[in-house]
Chains A and B, each alone.
Chain A
Amino acid sequence: MSTIEHATYMTDAIGPLPFCPGCGHHVLIKSLNKAMVKLQLDPKKTVIVTDIGCIGLSDRYFTTNAFHGLHGRSITYACGLKLARPELTVITLKGDGGCGIGGTHLLNVARRNIGITLIIANNFNYGMTGGQHSVTTPTDGITSTTPWGNVEGPMDLCGTAIAAGAAWVARTTTFEKDLVDTIAQAIKQPGFAMVDAWELCTAYYAPRNQLKKKDLDDMLEGYGFKLGVLTNKPREEYSAHYRKAFEAGKSAVKKRTTIETGFDNAVARQTGIVIAGSAGQKIKSAATLLAQGAMYSGLETTQKDDYPITVMTGHSLSEIIVSRDRIEYTAIDSPDYFLVISQDGLKKARARIEQLPETCTLYAEQSLDLPETMAKVVKLPLNDVAAKISKLSIAIIALAAMLKDSGIYPAHAFANAISKFQKPTVAEMNLKAAAAGAELT
């Protein structure tokens, strides 16, 4: 570029920078401005995102877009902007305090490689709220909340980001001559880039601990820390990777299968059906097929499921209502048909079975030891029939037996739902199961 279009990205319209005399933020903010001038960023396509704390006051002094959000969450806003508008240059300013409260966001942006720049004004304490200790306060450091010296160990922000997979990380101080270049390099990275800039807080941490420029060097040496670019392992930025993965892996749009009425039904009034069994017996999907079969028969229907939070173990219970009219109340207080096909199901439903009315028909696997009930009991060799077809079809067998016995709608409608909604191999098995079930009653 032959001419400089943007000589500065800062304005003094609202007065001078608000920081204490000698505070490192002055140098950091002005260095950021110089880096932006060097890169000639488009102000409309650049966002300064700030966290809470003294550094959070700085976005107002920039002529670019600005987003000032909640404490510790600046990375999430920066990511949201970048994900929504990948063309934006997003520069986040955050303190060491923000890195503590928002630690998980630092780990995750590094891991995801979302292309934002994170500049950390790291002055080892909370300057805005009265000099409390932060995650980077050195051990033995004196702060307003560590009056006898800090007993916690400091977090190595760069090491943490690198361990989390950050593509580009640099450590520096506000006394380094190449600070502007370091920041400019970070902004140029297509992926996530982080600059951990060590500074002096001249209001609290520096005077309380007699910390001067030379002491920063001693601290670094004491930790065995190096300055400069610590890691530079570019990899594909998140949004580009996301789009590529989607294009490569995208499955066909799931076709909407609508259900047209093709069968009659014999449902005179709203009818409640409950099936209780074990996880893994495909209770839910069989109940859905029963409902879809009802829809092929012109009925309205609802399905509610009950299962433990760990889905692969314990009971599985589904409640299906079928009706000629719109269904309002979706619970079944007095079932018309109750199916219990396993010990897990019986255990869950025992109290309800004991309360079943005489108008209800209870279909039960013949080996189950049923409690006393007023319901009409129909014992079925469900396990034996399933053993010949598939254990996964036992719920289909039971529902087909109930359908045949009750006559609420035709077996063909049930078979139609199986054919339309299940994969061909599964459907073939379940059609056999439905036919076998219908022969039981």
Chain B
Amino acid sequence: MGREFLEGNEAIARGAMKAGCDFFAGYPITPASSILHYMLDLVPRAGGMAIQAEDEIASMGFCIAAAMAGRKVMTATSGPGISLYSENIGLAQMGETPLVIVNIQRQGPATGSATKGAEGDIQFTRWVTSGGLPVIALSPATVAEAYDLTYRAFNLAEQYRSPVFIMASKETGVTRESVDLDAVELPPRVERKAAPPDQKYQPHYFEHLAETPAMSAFSGEHIARFTTSTHDKTGYLTTNPAVIQEMLDHYAAKINDAADDIALYKQDFQDGADTLIISYGIISRSVAVAVKNARARGQKVSSLVLQTLWPTPEKTIRAAMNGVGKVIVPEMNMGQYRLEIERLAPPGVEVIGVDKMNTSLISPSEIETIGGLA
């Protein structure tokens, strides 16, 4: 127990190790490189393997295969790297691969400003690969949350046999804070559901659509199959439309039906508030100051901070919007998650975006001014 002065990237590495990560592959990219450095130090000490791959495509290839060989796996990059991960992310979904993908977001598009923060990959992550299957994505705001949510991302990856994204900003990844990670309360570790050894293994077996199939690793008790092609529960290629649809329904249901269980959020509601601010990531910290300032002026305002971005915590968002007249959505992008809020807002509720993507943080006063609180 005790306080340290840590950056978010180190907290992410520590969270991964706490979760039992024993395989890491990555490629250098600002501002995520220090995660690669930490993991190259920590993972071999724990008996695992960490490697710098030749590119992002190879990083993901190594990671997917290692995960299917029974390892607990993480990779880390920034927006340009996610672009290169894209096709393999589809492969991970197709093979139901448990895997944690960290995105320390920086100002884009393209190379953008490598050392500057943004949160511009929100919708990109939702629709990151061909086919449009749902994803799980968590967004930490602080160094403590970077630790906490990375640990939880491993649990979700195992629980749903799915890639899980950590979507931090450079502003959380490489900003240092005084923090006591030992004081962060973590849930028990979730271990992979193992296929019964005495039965023939079907890599994608489920009784009901939303069930996560049990898994047997390569080099384990069973003959294992993994394929990028449209397949049935046994992992063999199929062209039967009914089977294809059932498999796709399964991939979607396993995540969408669990949206309420995956939903992590913090709410600070005030009775009688007509204004609600919905935020996530680094900007939720500007919101905390804006809310304090507004309340000090006697204004009533509520705040909902989303730690889970995908699947959309619809129930939570709808409940928070119930009874308010105005919702402010500040984002370090051009208004990406606002699309979700607008979709869910009851008729007559005004949704105001505070969009900024110029490498500097949205300040509390900008939220107050544009949101009509000042």
Contact = CB atoms under 8 A, between A and B. Distances in A.
Given A67-B218, A77-B65, A85-B69, A329 B3 contact: no
Nearest to B291: A328
Contacts of A295: 3, 5, 178
Given A253-B45, A304-B175, A67 B226 contact: yes
B360 A260 contact: no
A81 B227 contact: no
Nearest to B69: A84
Interface stretch (B50-58, B150-158, B257-265, B306-314): B50-58
Contact of A44 (B223, B237, B282): B223
A250 B228 contact: no
Interface stretch (A26-34, A58-66, A391-399, A402-410): A58-66
Nearest to A305: B174
Contact of A67 (B58, B65, B178, B282): B65
Given A73-B88, A108-B53, A304-B171, 16 more contacts: A60-B237, A67-B65, A68-B226, A73-B57, A76-B53, A76-B60, A76-B62, A79-B61, A80-B66, A84-B23, A84-B66, A88-B69, A105-B58, A260-B2, A288-B176, A329-B289
Contact residues on A (Cβ < 8 Å of other chain), bracket: 35 or more
A409 B1 CA distance: 24
Interface in A262-310: 288, 291-292, 294-295, 299-309
Contacts of A14: 236
Interface of A: 14, 43-45, 47, 52, 59-60, 63-70, 73, 75-81, 83-85, 87-88, 104-105, 107-108, 239, 242-243, 246, 250, 253-254, 256-260, 288, 291-292, 294-295, 299-309, 327-331, 333
B234 to A, nearest CB: 11
Given A69-B91, A85-B219, A250 B45 contact: yes
B117 to A, nearest CB: 9
A382 to B, nearest CB: 24
Interface string B219-248: 111111111110000001100000000000
Contacts of B222: 44
Interface of B: 1-5, 23, 25, 30, 41, 44-45, 49, 51, 53-55, 57-58, 60-66, 68-71, 87-88, 91, 114-115, 171, 174-178, 217-229, 236-237, 282, 285-286, 288-289, 360-361, 363-365
18 contacts: A44-B220, A60-B237, A65-B223, A66-B227, A67-B68, A67-B226, A76-B60, A77-B64, A79-B61, A80-B61, A80-B66, A81-B66, A84-B66, A84-B71, A257-B4, A327-B177, A328-B288, A328-B289
Contacts of A288: 5, 176
Contact of A301 (B5, B229, B236): B5
B296 to A, nearest CB: 14
Given A65-B218, A76-B61, A246 B4 contact: no
B218 A85 contact: yes
A75 B61 CA distance: 8
Contacts of B65: 67, 69, 76-81, 84
Contacts of A78: 65
Contacts of A302: 175-178
Contacts of A65: 218-219, 223-225
B5 A44 contact: no
Contact of B286 (A258, A309, A328): A328
Contacts of A87: 219
Given A68-B227, A330-B175, A45 B61 contact: no
B2 A258 contact: yes
A294 B178 CA distance: 10
A239 B138 CA distance: 33
B178 A331 contact: no
A303 B7 CA distance: 9
Nearest to A66: B225
B101 to A, nearest CB: 15
B25 A258 contact: no
A43 B223 contact: yes
B318 to A, nearest CB: 27
Contacts of A85: 69-70, 217-219
Nearest to B25: A80
Contacts of A300: 177-178
B366 to A, nearest CB: 10
Given A79-B62, A239-B49, A330-B285, A309 B5 contact: no
A299 B237 contact: no
A47 B229 contact: no
Contacts of A330: 171, 175, 177, 282, 285, 361
A17 to B, nearest CB: 14
A44 B62 contact: no
Contacts of A80: 25, 61-66, 69
Contacts of A63: 223
B57 A76 contact: yes
B105 to A, nearest CB: 16
B218 A301 contact: no
A14 B236 CA distance: 10
Nearest to A63: B223
Q: Which of A88, A246, A308 has the most CB of B within 10 A?
A: A246
A329 B285 contact: yes
- Give me the 10 closest cross-chain CB pairs, A-B, nearest first: A76-B61, A258-B2, A80-B65, A84-B66, A84-B69, A80-B62, A328-B285, A85-B219, A77-B65, A68-B227
B44 A246 contact: yes
Contacts of B218: 47, 65, 67, 81, 84-85, 88
Contact of B58 (A52, A76, A306, A331): A76
A433 B278 CA distance: 48
A104 B214 CA distance: 35
A309 B218 CA distance: 42
B180 to A, nearest CB: 8
B4 A81 contact: no
Contacts of A45: 219
Given A76-B57, A76-B65, A307-B115, A83 B51 contact: yes
Given A68-B228, A84-B66, A253-B45, A329 B286 contact: yes
Contacts of B4: 256-259
A75 B65 CA distance: 11
Given A65-B224, A70-B228, A239-B49, A292 B5 contact: yes
B354 to A, nearest CB: 14
A46 B4 CA distance: 46
Contact of B361 (A239, A307, A331): A331
A108 B237 CA distance: 31
A87 B219 CA distance: 8
A83 B3 CA distance: 36
B114 A309 contact: yes
Contacts of A81: 65-66, 68-69, 218
A67 to B, nearest CB: 5
A84 B49 contact: yes
